[in-house]
Amino acid sequence: MPTHDETRRLPYTPQQMYDLVADVGHYPDFLPWCAAARVRSVTPFEEGEVMEADLVISFKVFRERFGSRVTLWPEKMRIDTEYLDGPFRYMEANWAFAEAEGGCEVSFHVDFEFRNAMLQGIIGVVFNEAMQRIVRAFERRAKELYG
């Protein structure tokens, strides 16, 4: 079961980074391997909102859609993602954003397992590099948007 934890200090506000990660509909504009994104629904609740969304991931001959439930906690500056349907046995990801000297600290955690053992084996080889590329893509996008 691959997991990845990373914390980065960036020269942007926690709100800017939170807004960037929460904007799931724009992921295909900058995330590697993200071919499409669709927000199915957004349901407000007292402390934030729950979004159900689909992402299409395309990597070489692999192309899969998966659905997730994204819980946005604006007061806590936290975003939690849980798996709904698609090629995974399970998947969860969490983002947290905190004030830090000169900007903010962004913490990212992901844990998942594919249903297909062969695919899991292939991804396992490049998993950490792939997760680092995804985090760097968010950094580049922040620089484009917030300079």
Percent of the chain predicted with pLDDT > 70 = 96
What is the number of structural domains in the chain?
Answer: 1
pLDDT of 1? 61
Mean pLDDT, residues 15-30 taken together: 97
Does the pLDDT value for residue 58 go beyond 90? Answer: no
The mean-pLDDT minimum among 67-71, 97-101, 118-122 falls in 118-122
For residues 108-135, average pLDDT: 80
Partners of 64 in beta bridges: 57
The pTM for the full model equals: 0.90
Which pLDDT value is given to residue 79?
A: 98
pLDDT of 124: 67
How crowded is the C-beta side of 126, counted as CA atoms within 13 Å? 7
**Domain interval for residue 37:** 3-146
Average pLDDT over residues 73-79: 98
| pLDDT score, position 53 | 97
Q: Which amino acid is at 128?
A: N
**Percent composition of the chain: helix, strand, coil (DSSP 3-state, to 5):** 30, 50, 15
What sections of 12-79 are H helices per DSSP?
14-22
Q: What is the domain-level CATH number for residue 134?
A: 3.30.530.20
When the pLDDT of each residue in the chain is averaged and rounded to a whole number, the result is 91
pLDDT value for 125: 65
The whole-angstrom separation of Cα 3 and Cα 47 is 28
Structure tokens of 132? 């680092």
